[in-house]
Each structure stands twice: as C-alpha cells, then as structure tokens.
C-alpha cells in the first residue's frame, strides 16, 4: 500500500521520491521481452538493464495501457515476475468449488434492530478472514458505477491528454502514473493508477481533471458516511464503546486509487498487483465485472469475484496491530488476465498526518495477563516508512512481523 498510494501508490512519508530524478527517452515497444527458450532468465543473452528499461517505460508516460495499445504481443522483461511470485496463478480456487464463501455483512438495520447481529457477523469475518463483502451499505449503485466508469474513461483517453497528469510528485493531490514502485520493485505489475489524496482540509476540485471531478467527490461523500458507520461497528466488534476507534482518530485520512488493469498477452508471466497486505487501517474496494482479485485464506488463494453493488472491505496491518491480532490483515493480489480491462477503486483509511502522527499500539482495553501486547507502538508514518523503505510491502513479504515484541501464547 501507500508508496504511490497507501499501497504501492504515494511517495514516501519523508517525501523522498527517487522517481522524479529520472529522465530518459525511448519507445516502449523496443523493450526486451521474455528470453527465448534455453536463454537464462537471469542474464545470459543480451544483458538486461532493468533500470534503463524502467526509465524508458516511465518516459513514455503512457503506462501499461500504452504498451498494450502499441500492440505488444509479449510481456516486456521489466514486468516478468520471478517464479515465487507466480505460484498458484490459475484461478481454480473458485469459492463455490472449495466451499469457501467470502463473508457477507448486510448492513440493513445495523443502526437499530439488527445491530447485534451485524456486529457479531463482523467480528467473525475479521477474526477468520480479515475481509468481507458489504451489502446494503448505503452507497447508491449509480455513484459506484460512475466512479468506476470515470476511472476507465480517464485511462482510455488519448495519450496526449493523459500524459499531462503523469507524475510522481507527492505534493500533487491528483496524479496518474504506472507502478508507484517502478524504480525499486523487483518486477513491475500490469496496471496503471490514478491517485487522489484527500488531506484533512479536503481535496480542491481544481486539482482533479474535470472528467473525474463530479463522480469522485460524489463517491467520496458516500464513503465518508460509510466510514463513520464502520468505525462504530468495528469498535463494537472489538468489544469497545462504539466511539472508540473514532476517538483515537485512526481513520481520519484517506487516499483513493483508481487502478486500470489492461488485458495482458501473457498473464502467466506477470501480476496485476503483487501479493501484499494493506498498511493502513481499513480499505474499501470497488471493482468492475472483470475478476482477478484473490485473497489468501487458509493457505490458499480464493477468487473474490465481483458482486454488483457490493463493496469489499479489508483491514490493514495497523488494524491488526491495534487489535493485538484479534483481527487479521488479509493478504491479497490481483492476477493479470487476457480478459479486461479490470477497473478498481481502493479507498485507504489511515490516521491524519503522513509526516507526523501519534503512536498506535495494541489497545489497552484488549490486553490482560493472558493477552500481552504483541506489538510495539508505532506511528503510521513510521510503519509506512518501513513498509516502503524495506521494499517489503510490495515485494511479497509481510511487514507487520518486524513490529512484533512477543509471540501469542
């Protein structure tokens, strides 16, 4: 999460942004592709200069969509993942086939008659899965569809229009880029991204392209309302007063990313999003009808197929930390596919202040002799800084264990 979003998507909290140091010119189609059979993956044959390829790709400012439009029939080397990232790629773990059903939280009546049931359902879902589908969440289907459509339209504009917005400058509250971690990841992923930062003062409409303005602000308004309800329900699911998570201000800030996953000629060689868990407290995700999203559950990848009108929610690492492992942050990834384009909108909720923020540790009310604190205190910028600096956050490794102080009894 966060580099260029709070998940592979904003510059680091320290404002360190190596990407702006780049400037190269070349055609994306000239990039090297998969070595031919017999040619070593590492580097026999013509030597592979990853940094150069990344710079060349960056300079096109046309993203992966640009590559696809230029007619690439093979996945360029830059995007080819090592075998350990590509394990169990086939989607034969269909929920119905394995009997695994993503928990559904029906928010209907959650303010009154069904509150207890909803809180219990939520607790069960977060203790076992770490994610859930929400229905009857109050966000009009129309607002969701328009949000997805505007992200699609942006990415499908002529390159000349889009490239004006291409940036990795974290001072910009709206930007478009491909692969937030392009210059330090081991392999790039098959997607482009729009990034919307909603600082505490709010995002100024002028910072956002006219095309996206209305749908984005409309959707954000609904998300804000849903966030407040979820904050209360999550507090109660932890056995705390409904205002608890609101009072500790753990979800005061939000960023939104609009991902566009173009069709991929060789989906078995790359990924749309590498396996990761989100760094923040809570993520709310919208996806169009092209699947590809998978969550890890009981040591297997489970397809999370799109359900029209539903919002997917997952908790992030910091929620696992403050809940002292009561709730689990769920690992997930997105497959590259021949069908598409997949469009998704992820909204990340985290504490105020990307440079300075108060420390968070396991919530005291959840601790006793049998439940000692499992993590040390950390602030979101510190946690996220580590998530980025180690490169681990988006390189397929878990970051949270680095903050552990003891093992569960």
CB of 294 to ligand OGA, least distance (A): 10
Cβ contact 270:75 at 8 Å: yes
193 binds Ni ion (CB under 5 A): no
293 binds ligand OGA (CB under 6 A): yes
Binding site partner of 257, from ligand OGA, Ni ion, none, Cβ cut-off 5-8 A by kind: ligand OGA
Choosing from 278, 303, 317, 331, the residue that interacts with Ni ion (CB under 5 A) is 278
3-state secondary structure the chain: CCCEECCCECCCCCCCCHHHHCCCCCCHHHCCECCCCCCCCCCCCCCCCHHHHHHHHHHHCCHHHHHHHCCCCCCEHHHCCCHHHHCCCCCCCCHHHHCCCCCEEECCCCCCCCHHHHHHHHHHHHHHCCEEEEECCCCCHHHHHHHHHHHHHHHCCCHHHHHHHECCCCCCCEEEECCCCCCCCCCCCCCEEEEEEECCCCCCHHHCCHHHHHHHHHHHHHHHHHHHHHHHHHHHHCCCCCCHHHHCCCCCEEEEEEEEECCCCCCCCCEEEEEECCCCCEEEEEECCCCCEEEEECCEEEECCCCCCCEEEEECHHHHHHCCCCCCCCCEEEECCCCCCEEEEEEEEECCCCCCCCEECCCHHHCECCECCCECCEEHHHHHHHHHHCCCCCCCCCCHHHHECCCCC
Rounded CA-CA distance 8/15 in Å is 14
Residues 143-162 that bind ligand OGA (CB under 6 A): none
Q: Which two tokens stand for residue 304?
A: 């999370």
Quick one: CA dihedral 384, 390, 393, 398, positive or negative? negative
Nearer to Ni ion by Cβ, of 77 and 227: the residue is 227
CB of 144 to ligand OGA, least distance (A): 14
Structural tokens at position 55: 């710079």
Return the number of the residue (7 or 10) whose C-beta is nearest Ni ion: 7
Cα→Cα distances 65→27, 180, 298, Å: 14, 15, 34
Q: Which of 32, 287, 288, 357 binds ligand OGA (CB under 6 A)?
A: 287
Of the two residues 119 and 126, which places its CB atom closer to ligand OGA in the complex? 126
Site for ligand OGA contains 334 (CB under 6 A): yes
Binding range to Ni ion, per CB under 5 A, among 278-286, 333-341, 350-358, 363-371 = 278-286
Q: How far is the CB of 346 from ligand OGA (least distance, A)?
A: 4
Stretch that binds Ni ion, among 64-72, 117-125, 276-284, 290-298 (CB under 5 A): 276-284
x/- mask, Ni ion, residues 5-34, rule CB under 5 A, reads: --x---------------------------
The yes or no reply on residue 65 touching ligand OGA (CB under 6 A) is no
The distance of closest approach from Cβ of residue 303 to ligand OGA in the complex, given in angstroms and rounded to an integer, is 12
Nearer to Ni ion, 7 or 179 (CB): 7
Q: Applying CB under 6 A, does 347 fall inside the site for ligand OGA?
A: no
Using CB under 6 A, which of 17, 167, 255, 273 touches ligand OGA? 273
**Minimum distance, C-beta of residue 203 to Ni ion, in the bound complex (Å):** 21
Read off the tokens for 239.
Answer: 């056995």
Give residue number: closest CB to Ni ion. 278
Beta bridge partners of 89: none
Please select the residue that binds ligand OGA; options are 2, 3, 4, 7, rule is CB under 6 A: 7
Judged by beta carbon, residue 387 or residue 403, the one nearer Ni ion is 387
What's the token pair of residue 87? 């394990």
Taking the complex as a whole, the smallest distance from the CB of residue 191 to ligand OGA amounts, in Å, to: 7
Closer residue to ligand OGA (CB): 32 or 344:
344
Residue 123 binding result from Ni ion, ligand OGA, none, given CB thresholds of 5 to 8 Å by partner type:
none
Note whether 10 binds ligand OGA by CB under 6 A. Answer: no
**Which residues sit at the interface with ligand OGA, rule CB under 6 A?**
1, 5, 7, 257, 259, 273, 278, 285, 287, 293, 332, 334, 344, 346
**Which residues sit at the interface with Ni ion, rule CB under 5 A?**
7, 278
């Amino acid at each position: 999460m966060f580099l260029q979003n709070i998940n592979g998507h904003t510059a680091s909290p320290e404002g360190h942004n190596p990407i702006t140091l780049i400037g190269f010119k070349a055609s994306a189609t000239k990039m090297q592709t998969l070595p031919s059979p017999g040619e070593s993956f590492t580097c026999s044959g013509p030597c592979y200069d990853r940094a150069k390829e990344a710079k060349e790709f960056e300079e096109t400012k046309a993203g992966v969509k640009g590559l696809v439009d230029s007619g690439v029939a093979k996945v360029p080397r830059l995007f080819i993942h090592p075998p350990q990232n590509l394990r169990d790629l086939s989607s034969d773990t269909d929920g119905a086939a394995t009997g695994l059903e993503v928990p559904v939280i029906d928010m209907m009546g959650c303010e009154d008659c069904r509150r207890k049931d909803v809180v219990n359902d939520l607790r069960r879902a977060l203790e076992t899965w770490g994610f859930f589908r929400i229905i009857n969440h109050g966000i009009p289907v129309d607002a969701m569809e328009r949000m997805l459509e505007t992200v699609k339209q942006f990415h499908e504009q002529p390159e000349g229009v889009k490239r004006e917005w291409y940036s990795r400058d974290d001072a910009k509250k709206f930007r478009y880029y491909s692969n937030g971690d392009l210059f330090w990841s081991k392999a790039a992923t098959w997607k482009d991204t729009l990034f919307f930062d909603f600082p505490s003062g709010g995002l100024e409409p002028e910072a956002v392209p006219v095309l996206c303005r209305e749908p984005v602000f409309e959707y954000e308004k609904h998300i804000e309302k849903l966030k407040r309800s979820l904050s209360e329900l999550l507090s109660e699911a932890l056995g705390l007063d409904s205002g608890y998570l609101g009072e500790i201000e753990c979800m005061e800030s939000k960023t939104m990313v609009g991902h566009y996953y173009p069709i991929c000629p060789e989906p078995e060689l790359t990924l749309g999003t590498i396996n990761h868990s989100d760094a923040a407290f809570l993520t709310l995700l919208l996806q169009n009808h092209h699947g590809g999203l998978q969550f890890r559950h009981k040591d297997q990848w489970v397809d999370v197929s799109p359900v029209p009108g539903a919002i997917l929610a997952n908790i992030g690492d910091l929620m696992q930390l403050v809940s002292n492992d009561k709730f689990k942050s769920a690992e997930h990834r997105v497959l590259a596919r021949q069908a598409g384009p997949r469009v998704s909108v992820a909204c990340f909720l985290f504490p105020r202040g990307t440079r300075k923020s108060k420390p968070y540790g396991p919530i005291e009310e959840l601790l006793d002799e049998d439940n000692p604190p499992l993590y040390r205190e950390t602030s979101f910028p510190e946690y996220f800084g580590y998530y980025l600096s180690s490169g681990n956050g988006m390189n397929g490794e878990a970051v949270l264990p680095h903050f552990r102080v003891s093992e569960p009894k």
